[in-house]
Amino acid sequence: MRRLLGTSILLLWLNLLGFSQAPKQLILQKSSYSIKSLFRELNNNYNLEFAFSNNVVNLKSTYIPSNSKISLEELLKELAKQNNLDFEINGQTIYLRHRKKTESRLVTISGIIKDKFNGEALIGAHVTIEGSTQGVTSNTYGFYSLSLPAGNYKLQATYTGYNDLSASVDLRANSKYDFVMEEQVSRLKEVVVTAREPDANVIDVIPGKNVLHFKSEGDIPYFLGEVDVLQGSLLLPGINNLGEDSNGINVRGGSADQNLILLDEATIYNASHFYGLISVFNPESVNDVEILKGSIPSQYGGRISSVINIRQKEGNNKEFHMAGGIGLVAARLTLEGPIKKDKSSFLIAGRRSILNLAIRNADFNNIGNNRANFEDFNFKVNLKPNEKNRLYVSGYYGNDRNETGFETFRRWGNRTLTFRWNRLLSEKLFSNFSVILSQYSYRVTDLREAGSFFGTSRIINYDTKLDYSYFLNPNNKFNFGAGTGLIRLNPGDRLPLPTSGSTNPVQLDTEHGFNSFLYANHETRVSRLKLAYGFRVSSLHNIGAGDVYVYDSEIRSTDNIIDTVSYNTKEVIKSYIGFEPRIAANVQLNSSMSIKASYNRNYQYLHLISNTISPAPTDIWKISDTYIKPTRADQYSIGLFKNFKNNEIETYVDFYYQDLNNILEYKTNADLLLNETIETEIISGTGRSYGLELMAKKSYGSLQGWVSYSLSRTERKVQGPAPELTINDGKYFPANSDQTHQFSCTGLYSLSERLSGSANFIFSTGRPITLPSDKFEFNDIIIPHFTERNQDRLPNYHRLDLSLKLQGRKVKKNGKIKKRIDYWTFSVYNVYARKNAFSYLFRESEVNPGQTEIVKYSILPTAIPAITYNFRL
C-alpha cells in the first residue's frame, strides 16, 4: 500500500515538473477545423492543454492540416506559420505566444573587381546573388560592397566583354573577396559603345548614359586611322559638332563650353588637336569614357549640358607591356608595368604629330595656308600600401602649335595634375580624397609688320574634394561629399613686340572665383522601382582685386559709365548660390524592358566668350560677375529601354526637354577681343532644347554595330528693354548648334579570323547661319547688311567612311601560341568626296570687281585615305 502510494505521488510530481510525454503522432478526424474545435479535439483525444492569452490566437480562424496523420511538432509548426506564433511544449501543455520580431544579422562582403591580365579595376561591373535580382555595381575604383543576412550564397560577377565569374561564399562574418575576371576571346574584341554589364541598358537607373570602352584597336573608321575618344562619341544620338575645323562637341544642342570634360577628375578646357579633328586624349592611355547627358548625378556640377568623364588606365601591375603605333598623323608609345607586383604600377604614354600637318584650299589662299602640329604626354602611378588604402598620382601635358596664313602663330595647351587617396573606412564605407590642378593657356604671336604683338591668356583651377560611398545594403546606397576650389583667370594680355615700335599694351584685370559645393545622393530599389535622388548646393564668390563699372541704365556702353567701384584683394565682388535638385527613376516592366524618367537642375558659373561659328583655342573664359549671371538649366527626360535576344540587341527611345535661363548672346558686330568692358557687348536671354533620341545596337556575333537618330530643336530668345538688347524682335531663333536631324550608322563585320571591315555613315541637317538681308555701297565696295539672326542654313552634311583591319599572325613563345601582337588599319575618310560646307565666306568677285559674292567654304572636300600600324608587346 505504501509502495503504491509512493509511486502515485512520484508520477504526480514528475507530471507537475513536465516530465510526462506528449504524444508524438496524431490522427485527425476532419479535413478542416476552426482553431477552437481543433484544440477541443486534441484535449479530448490526447489530453493536450493549450495555454495562451486572449489576443494571441483567433479561435475562429481556420486550420487545414497537411495530412490526417501528422506529428504534434509538424502540426504546431503549421499553426505557428499561419498565425505568426512561437510555441513551447512542456509535458502535456503547449504554450502559445506572439512570435518575437527579430532582425536578421547582416554581414558584409566587399572587395575589388579587376582584370586578371593587368589588374585594372573594372568600373561598373555587376555583382548579384545567383538566382536573384539583388546586387550592386562597382564604383569608379572597382569597389563593391554587398550586405546580406548570414548564410551561404553563390555570387556572380558580370561585365561586358568578360567571362562571367561565380563564387560560393559562406558569410558568417564581414569578409573580403576580390573578383578577378578574364576577358573574353572574340574576333571583334572592341565594342566601342557598350553597357558595362549586359543588361545595363534596361536596369541602370540613369537615362541618357553611354559608356565607351577604348581598346585602341581601330575596329571602326576614324579620321586618318587615329582611334579617338570624341570622334567615337559623335556616333551617338544627341551628340554632334559643327563640322570639320570645329573645336569641342555639342550635346543636346548645348554649346561646346557647356560640357564638363574630366580627365581623372581634372577639367579639360580645350579637348581638340588639329582643327578639332583629333582629341587630346591618347587612346592608349584611356580606360573608358562615360558620357552623361540625360541625368547628371549630384556629384557633378558646373556645366549645364553634359559630363564627359575620361578615366586613364592604372597601369599593368602584373607584368611589363609596351604598345604604340604610327600613322599619317602621329606616332605614339605607351609603357606600363608593375613597380612592385600586385602592389604598385605605372603608365607613361606619349604622342606627337610626325608631320607639319596642313589644310589647304585652292579657292582661299590665305585661309587654306594653315599648318599645325601637336604633342601630348600622360602618366599615372598608383600604390597600394595595404588592403584599405590606395594612392594615385596622374597627369597630362598637351601642346599645340598653329601657323595661319596671316603670319600669325598660335600656341595653346592643357596641363593637369591629380592626386587621389582611396580609403576603405569599413566594409560599407568607401572614401576618396582628391587634390586637383587644371590649367589651360594660349599665346598668340602676330609677325605682320604693322603692329606686331603677342597675346596671352590663362585659366588655372586649384580644387580639393572629398567623396564618400556608403553601401547600406543591396537596395540602398548613399553618395555624399563636398569640395572647394579657386579659379584664377587672366582673360588676356596684348603686349607689343620690341620690333613693332608700338607702345600701347593691353592688360585685362586678373579675375578670381572661389567656388564650393556639397552634395548627397541616395540610390534605392523598391520592388520594380529604382530611384536615384539627391541634391547639390553650389556657390561662387567672385573676389577682388578688381574694378566694376557702374552704368546709368540697363543699356550698358562705354558712353554711359558713371562710376567705378574698386575692390581690394580677397574682397567679395559678387556671390551666387544655387540649389540643384536631381532625381532619376527606373520602372522595370520585365527582365528586358524598362521606363526611365529624370529631372535635374544645373548651374554654370564659368563661360566661354566667343561669337565665332565654333570656339577657337584663343577664345577667353569669363567668371560670372556683377553683370554676367550664372546660366541655369532644367532638364526633363523620359524614355523606353528594351533589349532583345538575351541582351544581344539593345534599343531605346528617349525624349527630353531643357529650359535655359541667362544664356549668353552677343550684340551684332560685338567686339570681344581684349575688351575691358566686355559686359557692354553681352546680352542675356533664355532658351529651350527638346527632341527625341533613338538607338539600336547589336554587340555580339560576326556582324556588330549600331544605328542612332536624333530629332531635335535648340532655340534662343533675347527680349531686352531696348532694340539693341533684342535679337530678332524678341522671337525664338535657332541656336548656332541647332541641327534638326542627326543620323549615323556604324557596322563592323568579321570577314575572317584576321580580317575585319567597318563603315560609318553620318547625316545631319545643316547648321543655322545668318545671310545678308540687303547690301549697301561704301567706297565703291558692296557691303552686305545683316538683320535677322540664324534664319538660313548650310546644306545638309553627310559622309561615308570605310576601314579594314588586318591582324598580325599569332606568335609562339616557348612552344605555346600567344595572342597577336600587331595589326594594320586601312581607312578612307569621306569616301565619295562630299564637299560639306563649313561656312559661307564673302569676298570680292573676280568676275565683277567691286561686287561681293558668297562662296561655300569646305574644310575637307575630298576623300582622304590613311594607313596606320599598331603593336602591343
pLDDT at 133: 67
The CATH number linked to 150 is 2.60.40.1120
The residue among 70 and 82 whose pLDDT is bigger is 70
Confidence band, pLDDT 50/70/90 cuts, at residue 340 = very high
pLDDT at 97: 81
% residues pLDDT > 90 (the chain): 43
Q: Which residues have a Cβ under 8 Å from the Cβ of 268 and sit 6 or more positions away? A: 261, 262, 280, 310, 396, 414, 416, 438, 440
**Whether residues 126 and 140 fall in one domain:** yes
> Per the omega criterion (within 30 degrees of 0), is the bond before 545 cis?
yes
* DSSP string across 87-141: EEEETTEEEEEEPP--PPPEEEEEEEEEETTT--B-TT-EEEETTSS-EEE--TT
Strand, coil or helix: 31: coil
Residue with cell 505568426: 84
**Whether residues 13 and 106 fall in one domain:** no
For residue 233, being part of any structural domain is answered with: no
User: Between the CA of residue 58 and those of 37, 87, 92, 352, 828, what are the distances in Å?
Assistant: 12, 15, 22, 84, 82
pLDDT at 782: 62
Alpha helices in 288-387 (DSSP H): 365-368
**Whether residues 32 and 124 fall in one domain:** no
The CATH number linked to 43 is 3.55.50.30
Strand, coil or helix: 5: helix
Tell me the three cell numbers of residue 803: 576601314
Is the separation of the CB atoms in 137 and 476 below 8 Å? no
The residue among 692 and 30 whose pLDDT is bigger is 692
Residue 199, phi then psi, degrees to nearest 5: -110, 20
* Region class of 589: left (phi > 0), else alpha (psi between -120 and 50), else beta: alpha
The residue among 813 and 799 whose pLDDT is bigger is 799
**Whether residues 175 and 48 fall in one domain:** no
Residue range 410-463, pLDDT digits in tens: 889 999 999 999 999 988 999 999 999 999 998 888 766 555 666 788 999 999
Is the per-residue pLDDT at 763 higher than 70?
yes
Confidence band, pLDDT 50/70/90 cuts, at residue 44 = confident
- The 8-class DSSP code of residue 187 comes to S
**Whether residues 61 and 114 fall in one domain:** no
pLDDT at 501: 58
Is the per-residue pLDDT at 188 higher than 60?
no
Looking at 108-122, 284-298, 501-515, 628-642, which range is the least confident one? 501-515
For residue 427, being part of any structural domain is answered with: yes
Distance CA 310, CA 416 (A): 13
Tell me the three cell numbers of residue 114: 579587376
pLDDT at 19: 42
The CATH number linked to 589 is 2.40.170.20
Confidence band, pLDDT 50/70/90 cuts, at residue 768 = very high
pLDDT at 344: 93
Distance CA 651, CA 601 (A): 27
Is the per-residue pLDDT at 734 higher than 80?
yes
For residue 218, being part of any structural domain is answered with: no
Is the per-residue pLDDT at 254 higher than 60?
yes
**Whether residues 118 and 75 fall in one domain:** no
**Sign of the torsion angle spanned by Cα atoms 830, 836, 838, 843:** positive
Confidence band, pLDDT 50/70/90 cuts, at residue 13 = very low
Is the separation of the CB atoms in 634 and 601 below 8 Å? yes
Distance CA 247, CA 362 (A): 23
Average pLDDT over residues 258-270: 95
User: Between the CA of residue 649 and those of 52, 91, 567, 746, what are the distances in Å?
Assistant: 61, 66, 60, 14
Residue with cell 505566444: 97
pLDDT at 563: 93
The residue among 181 and 14 whose pLDDT is bigger is 181
CA-CA-CA-CA dihedral for 669, 250, 358, 843, to nearest 10 = -30
Is the per-residue pLDDT at 194 higher than 60?
no
Is the separation of the CB atoms in 380 and 312 below 8 Å? yes
Is the per-residue pLDDT at 753 higher than 70?
yes
* DSSP string across 224-260: GG---HHHHHTTSTTEE-SSTT--S-EETT--GGGEE
Residue range 352-371, pLDDT digits in tens: 988 766 655 555 554 555 67
Buried b (16+ CB within 10 A) or exposed e, 379-412: bbbbebeeeeebebbbbbbbbbbbbbeeeeebbb
Identify the top-confidence range among 24-38, 650-664, 723-737, 800-814.
650-664
For residue 613, being part of any structural domain is answered with: yes
Looking at 103-112, 201-210, 283-292, 369-378, which range is the least confident one? 103-112
Confidence band, pLDDT 50/70/90 cuts, at residue 190 = very low
**Whether residues 794 and 811 fall in one domain:** yes
Distance CA 598, CA 309 (A): 20
pLDDT at 851: 66
Looking at 120-134, 381-395, 439-453, 786-800, which range is the least confident one? 439-453
Is the separation of the CB atoms in 632 and 664 below 8 Å? no
Distance CA 630, CA 539 (A): 10
**Whether residues 129 and 63 fall in one domain:** no
Average pLDDT over residues 689-705: 90
Is the per-residue pLDDT at 819 higher than 90?
no
User: Between the CA of residue 247 and those of 17, 268, 274, 276, 279, what are the distances in Å?
Assistant: 91, 13, 9, 4, 9
Q: Give how far the C-alpha of residue 610 lies from the chain's centroid of Cα atoms, to the nearest Å.
A: 26
User: Between the CA of residue 484 and those of 22, 538, 612, 647, 786, what are the distances in Å?
Assistant: 73, 10, 32, 42, 45
What's the total number of domains in the chain?
Answer: 3
Distance CA 713, CA 719 (A): 20
Distance CA 450, CA 67 (A): 108
Confidence band, pLDDT 50/70/90 cuts, at residue 408 = confident
For residue 309, being part of any structural domain is answered with: yes
Residue 328, phi then psi, degrees to nearest 5: -75, -25
% residues pLDDT > 70 (the chain): 86
Average pLDDT over residues 92-116: 78
Average pLDDT over residues 151-168: 85
**Whether residues 628 and 751 fall in one domain:** yes
Domain boundary among 55, 80, 99: 99
Tell me the three cell numbers of residue 570: 580677397
Domain boundary among 76, 99, 122: 99
Average pLDDT over residues 753-779: 85
**Whether residues 93 and 146 fall in one domain:** no
Average pLDDT over residues 91-105: 71
Residue 147 lies in domain:
102-181
Average pLDDT over residues 733-761: 91
For residue 40, being part of any structural domain is answered with: yes
Is the per-residue pLDDT at 261 higher than 70?
yes
Is the per-residue pLDDT at 285 higher than 80?
yes
Looking at 249-258, 512-521, 616-625, which range is the least confident one? 616-625
For residue 682, being part of any structural domain is answered with: yes
pLDDT at 504: 72
Domain boundary among 181, 203, 221: 181
For residue 634, being part of any structural domain is answered with: yes
Tell me the three cell numbers of residue 798: 553627310
Is the separation of the CB atoms in 480 and 611 below 8 Å? no
**Whether residues 771 and 848 fall in one domain:** yes
Distance CA 796, CA 16 (A): 99
Is the per-residue pLDDT at 10 higher than 50?
no
pLDDT at 427: 87
Residue with cell 534599343: 651
How high does pLDDT run on average in the chain? 84
pLDDT at 437: 97
**Whether residues 764 and 781 fall in one domain:** yes
Looking at 214-218, 354-358, 476-480, 822-826, which range is the least confident one? 214-218
What is the chain's percent helix, strand, coil content, to nearest 5?
Answer: 10, 55, 35
Average pLDDT over residues 514-533: 94
